[in-house]
Amino acid sequence: MPLSEHEQRLLEQMERALYAEDPKFATSLRSGPGRASRGRAALGVLVLFAGVALLMVGVIIPMIALGVAGFVVMVIGAALAYSGLRGRPASEATTADGAAAPAASAKAAKRSGGGFMDKLEDRWRRRRDEGLQ
């Protein structure tokens, strides 16, 4: 179900506010569908299964060294699969359409104070500041 125009505007306002507030955090959260390395994840899963097989063989044939090697291979495979599925963070802050998010326009929109999210942010800051005093 697609978002209405009002919901899309609210989402864009929230994204701009997040980029203006903490661009490093926002880019770390952003991951597109092409960011993850499927090949690395598949290799990691295969190495993980090979480690399980080695571990089982080490248990069946009482060879502790083979079991330990199987466990080490399993951990390496899991790390490879995780790093492949996790993906890399975007190099710069981008908006939903893929264009770079201009920090100056986000700050200008924040100064105008007309948005719903801006009002919520102001309210939150006032509560936080009152709690600190």
Per-residue pLDDT of the chain (133 residues; tens, 9 = 90+): 677 888 888 888 888 888 888 777 777 666 554 456 788 888 999 999 999 999 999 999 989 999 999 999 999 999 998 888 876 544 433 444 444 444 444 454 445 556 788 888 888 888 888 877 6
Q: 103-112 and 116-132 helices cross at what angle (nearest 10)?
A: 80
Secondary structure of residue 73 in the 3-state scheme? helix
Q: Same domain, yes or no, for 73 and 38?
A: yes
Q: Same domain, yes or no, for 45 and 74?
A: yes
Q: For the chain, how many structural domains are there in total?
A: 2
The answer to whether residue 113 is domain-embedded is yes
The answer to whether residue 133 is domain-embedded is no
pLDDT, residue 95, reads 45
Q: 5-21 and 116-132 helices cross at what angle (nearest 10)?
A: 40
pLDDT, residue 100, reads 47
d(CA 97, CA 44): 32
Q: Same domain, yes or no, for 103 and 56?
A: no
* Type of residue found at 67: G
Q: Same domain, yes or no, for 43 and 65?
A: yes
pLDDT, residue 97, reads 46
Domain limits at 121?
1-30+98-128
| CB 41 within 8 Å of CB 81 | yes
For 18, left (φ over 0), alpha (ψ -120 to 50), or beta?
Answer: alpha
Q: Same domain, yes or no, for 37 and 74?
A: yes
Q: Same domain, yes or no, for 2 and 40?
A: no
Q: Same domain, yes or no, for 53 and 83?
A: yes
Q: Same domain, yes or no, for 25 and 60?
A: no
pLDDT, residue 8, reads 85
